[in-house]
Structure 1
Amino acid sequence: MDHHESAELHEPVDGVELAQLSSGELMSVQYFRIAPGASVPMHSHRHEQAGYVFDGDLTFVLADESEVVVSAGDSYTFQGNESHAAENRGKDPVVGIDVFSPPRTDPPWADE
């Protein structure tokens, strides 16, 4: 068993903080905090992604330009290679976790 006592936050784009909570051979768990007005650019990745929002309202923009709002208490899933962006259009931070399979350590949009 691996035990992690603390996770280091990093900010790959302005207003988006991530922390790798735990990672194994088949999945990883990541904390996120997205400040009001901040966004994650459109991207895709090979990983399946399942998430849960603890606080706030997060707007996902999909490849067809449709939008889905997930709020505190909501969960969501993206299939591998499904393009999406995320925007915090609210006045409060959005806080949640994502689970990726296979594990993902660095988001593909971090260098953009």
Structure 2
Amino acid sequence: MDVVPDADVEAVEAVDGVFLTQGAVAEDTSIQRFELEPGATVPEHEHPHEQIGVITAGRLTFVAGGEERVVGPDDTYAIPGGEPHAAENRTDEPVVGFDIFSPPRANPDWQE
């Protein structure tokens, strides 16, 4: 069993106001924590990994497949691998959540 204490991992500001923390990485999945400051945007991107997540605080607007969806506390979501998507915090409160990726994103490009 691997344990990754949150206190042992530094958050990386991947884009302005978007902070990501790499969590545990297993053979088939990985997890990361994210925080978006008010007004922060994750630009449209895509990756081969399936992505499922949960919002633990705040409200996040996803744009995927030409559709906008607002996801709030305790809501979960799934984004198929290869689907272009973006996210925006359009509120004045931080958004916090977790994403799980399969296959795992052991060395995501945002860590560079």
| Cα drift, residue 7 of structure 1 | 1.9
* Runs of 4+ off more than 6 Å: none
Task: Tell me, in whole angstroms, the C-alpha distance in 2 between the residues paired with 1:25 and 1:79.
Answer: 19
Indicate yes or no: 2:78 matched with 1:98. Answer: no
Q: Deviations over 1:13-45 (max 9, x none)?
A: 010000011101111000000000000000111
What is the TM-score normalised by the length of structure 1? 0.91
**Amino acid across the alignment from 1:25:** E
Task: Tell me, in whole angstroms, the C-alpha distance in 2 between the residues paired with 1:72 and 1:48.
Answer: 21
Indicate yes or no: 2:38 matched with 1:36. Answer: yes
Task: Tell me, in whole angstroms, the C-alpha distance in 2 between the residues paired with 1:78 and 1:32.
Answer: 16
RMSD across aligned positions (CA): 1.4
The share of aligned pairs that are identical, in percent, is 49
Task: Tell me, in whole angstroms, the C-alpha distance in 1 between the residues paired with 2:103 and 2:72.
Answer: 26
Query: How many residues end up aligned between the 2 structures?
Result: 108
| Cα drift, residue 63 of structure 1 | 3.4
Q: Match for residue 83 of structure 2?
A: 82
Task: Tell me, in whole angstroms, the C-alpha distance in 2 between the residues paired with 1:35 and 1:3.
Answer: 27
Task: Tell me, in whole angstroms, the C-alpha distance in 1 between the residues paired with 2:32 and 2:68.
Answer: 23
**Amino acid across the alignment from 1:12:** A
**Amino acid across the alignment from 2:49:** H
| Cα drift, residue 8 of structure 1 | 1.6
Q: Match for residue 10 of structure 1?
A: 12
Name structure 1 gaps, 5 residues minimum. Answer: none
What is the TM-score normalised by the length of structure 2? 0.91
Task: Tell me, in whole angstroms, the C-alpha distance in 1 between the residues paired with 2:77 and 2:29.
Answer: 16
Structure 2 counterparts to residues 15-26 of structure 1, below 5 A: 15-26=17-28
Question: Which SS does the other structure have where 2:77 is aligned?
Answer: strand
